[in-house]
Amino acid sequence: MGRHGAHWTLFIATRLVGVAVDSVLMGAAYVAAVALRFDFREPQWGWRATALSFVTVWAVQLFALIATGCYKLPWRRTGALEMPRYAGAFALSALALAALRWYMPELTLAHVRPPYSITLISTVLAFCAVLGVRIVWRFYSQARSNEKKLLRRREKIAGGEDVLEMLRGKTVLVTGAGGSIGSEIVRQTARSGAARVVMVERGENALYEIDREMRAAGSNAPCVPEMVDITDADRMKRVLERWKPQIVLHAAAYKHVPMVESNPLDGLRNNAVATRRLGEWSRDAGVERFVMISTDKAVNPISVMGMTKRLAEVLLLELNSPDAKGCVFSCVRFGNVLGSSGSVVPLFREQIARKGPLTVTHPDMKRYFMSVEEAVALVLEAAAMGSRGSQKGGCIYTLDMGEPVRIVDLAEDMIRQAGYKPYVDIPIVFTGIRPGEKLFEELNVSEKSVYRTGHARIFVCRDPGRAEGVDAEEVARFASGCPGDDEVRAFLKARVGAQ
């Protein structure tokens, strides 16, 4: 049986279970109505006729629920907006039963139609029971539903004395502080003993939101908003000189593969050249530790975004030289952050809200996922490794992200969490792989590819990837001109692209 057939089978089975549960509830409501009407004594027409009359009530109420489309509504989506539909179904059934009583008034026909009083009481009780069970199920499902369950593994939050020791009493500068990763870095550093957190972000709204959040949280560490573009040399130098951070956590980047693929020169300038320049300015300002947030797309990159991030790694690590003035430069690679802005999870959420379809590029597309809390905690652990034993930083760290998740499985899980049935209530369509995309991202943590560290989920890359003929000044001169898109792609591929 194919995937679609299996989902239709499950859909039918759940609806049959729903009918069975409703039948029990309607039966209990009818028994309670008879008991209340006759003070818990046997009706004058006897229990047998009462049982037969319930068959009529059950059939009429069930038909009304089906006719009004109540069985098309998943229980997990039942709320105030759906209440009028259920009320209409039971009102319709009450009118039908009252009509039966009107046209068949004889007591001898009591086995096929209930009295008006029984109809009214049982209708109210059945409506409350049927709707109530659905609402209870909705709240239960919402309590169990958690976006982090989409990881299909247990989330592991790191953190320890090494991070606290690294941050204690330090001024930390975070670039891209308004983004999904940057804002979480701000939160975790502020509560882990930093003396001050300088939030660098060029987007006004994003900076406003994280600044407002940190003020409302009453953080022990002052959080300073600086609305600055990292490519603005004068402004960035002034910020570094003013606040004199000891640690820079660099999360600012263009990260969306299709956007950078369409705008390669901007990706090169922002992701690679600006990172190198920021590293130089930080070194000259007396920064002790500089950590760049990288990506699994920098491993054997074929996309422009991946190549610009790989080039940024190369250009940054070159600064680990004898004249680095005591600053240690390192990079941390990991995969997708669950629910980050512009990622597939918010996209699917929007598509589910519109009742689909959900768009997946390929049935076999897989990606690594982490929660933002988990990823940032591990980034801070990796950043702290420069002070651990023989780990002196100046390398590329790779995080163990578990097993990759198929995007189509993620789509199906999100549809179910929303209370719908995949391919039944909401379709999933395959749109084809976009330029620069891979079916599988590479984040190998086998012993052939990485060295172990003192942390079970953090590794050091043995072979970080190609870096042929990379000269920082040449890259800067090239980016300062106006090369065409194809020229930029060829320039990147010749130096760091996958072969």
Can you give the pLDDT at residue 147?
Answer: 55
- Residue among 199, 153, 181, 158 nearest 340 (CA): 181
So what's the pLDDT on residue 217?
86
The alpha-carbon radius of gyration of the chain (Å, integer) is: 31
497 vs 159: which has the higher pLDDT: 497
Across the chain, mean pLDDT equals 85
| Surface-to-core class of residue 148, CB atoms within 10 Å of its CB (0-12 exposed, 13-18 middle, 19+ buried) | middle
pLDDT for residue 486:
95
What is the dihedral angle through the alpha carbons of 108, 112, 115, 120, rounded to the nearest 10 degrees?
180
Average confidence (pLDDT) over 277-303: 94
Assess whether pLDDT exceeds 90 at residue 434: no
For the stretch 11-49, pLDDT in tens is 677 778 888 999 999 989 988 888 888 878 877 767 777
What pLDDT is attached to residue 310? Answer: 94
Q: Are 249 and 172 in contact (CB under 8 A)?
A: yes
Burial class (CB in 10 A: 0-12, 13-18, 19+), 105: exposed
Q: Residue ranges of the domains in the chain?
A: 3-144, 253-496
Judged against a pLDDT cut of 60, whether residue 279 lies above it is answered with yes
Residue 360 CA to residue 200 CA, distance in Å, equals: 34
Q: How far is CA 4 from CA 10, 73, 227, 376, in A?
A: 10, 19, 50, 38
Higher pLDDT among residues 204 and 457, named by residue: 204
pLDDT of residue 388: 43
Residue 214 CB neighbours (<10 A): 22
Full-model pTM: 0.71
Please give the span between the terminal C-alpha atoms of the chain, in angstroms, as a whole number. 40
Query: Does pLDDT of 389 surpass 50?
Result: no
What values do phi and psi take at 147, rounded to 5?
-55, -30
- Report which of 140, 25, 136 is spatially closest to residue 90, judged by C-alpha positions: 25
Predicted local distance difference test score (pLDDT) of residue 100 = 80
Least confident residue range of 12-21, 237-246, 295-304, 309-318: 12-21
> What percentage of the chain carries pLDDT values higher than 70?
87
Query: CA 353 to CA 420: how far, in whole Å?
Result: 11
Which band of pLDDT confidence, cut at 50, 70 and 90, is reported for residue 390? Answer: very low
The residue written with tokens 């660099």 in the block is: 250
Is 60 exceeded by the pLDDT of residue 196?
A: yes
- 281-295, 323-337, 483-497: least confident range: 323-337
222-235 pLDDT tens trace:
999 999 999 999 99
Query: 245: helix, coil or strand?
Result: coil
Q: What gap in Å lies between CA 92 and CA 123, rounded to an integer?
A: 10
Lowest mean pLDDT, pick from 254-268, 276-290, 315-329: 315-329
Is the predicted pLDDT of residue 368 greater than 50, yes or no?
yes
pLDDT category at 391 given cuts 50, 70, 90 is: very low
Beta-bridged to residue 331, according to DSSP, are 292, 396
Of 446, 358, 360, 440, give the one whose Cα is nearest residue 405: 440
Q: Determine which of 115-119, 304-308, 425-429, 487-491 has the lowest per-residue pLDDT on average.
A: 115-119
Give the mean pLDDT of 394-422.
86
Q: Class of 253-496 per CATH?
A: alpha beta
Which helix (DSSP H) or strand (DSSP E) does residue 337 occupy? Answer: strand 336-337
Percent with pLDDT over 90 in the chain: 44
Q: What is the DSSP string of 10-41?
A: HHHHHHHHHHHHHHHHHHHHHHHHHHHHTTTS
- Select from 292, 276, 329 the least CA-distant residue to 472: 276
Average pLDDT over residues 155-170: 76
DSSP 3-state assignment of 357? coil
* Residue 148 appears among annotated catalytic residues: no
pLDDT at 446 over 90: no
pLDDT digits (tens, 9 = 90+) for 50-109: 777 888 888 899 999 999 888 877 777 677 777 888 999 999 999 988 888 787 766 555
What are the CA-CA distances from residue 182 to residues 175, 376, 379, 467 (Å)?
Answer: 7, 9, 11, 27
Q: pLDDT value at position 202?
A: 95
Write the single-letter amino acid at 64. Answer: A
Residue 444 has pLDDT above 60, yes or no: yes
pLDDT of residue 57: 87
Candidate list 170, 297, 309, 438, residue with the active-site label: 297
Is residue 285 predicted with pLDDT exceeding 50?
yes
Position 454 pLDDT exceeds 50: yes
| Cis ω for the linkage preceding 357 (within 30 of 0) | yes
Burial (CB count <10 Å: 0-12, 13-18, 19+), residue 42: exposed
- Per DSSP, the three-state class of 427 is coil
Residue 454 is classified by DSSP as: S
Look at residue 52 in the predicted model and tell me its pLDDT: 79
Higher pLDDT, 133 or 42: 133
Q: Write down the residue that tokens 């020791």 correspond to.
A: 165
| 3-state SS, one letter per residue, for 217-243 | HCCCCCEEEECCCCCCHHHHHHHHHHH
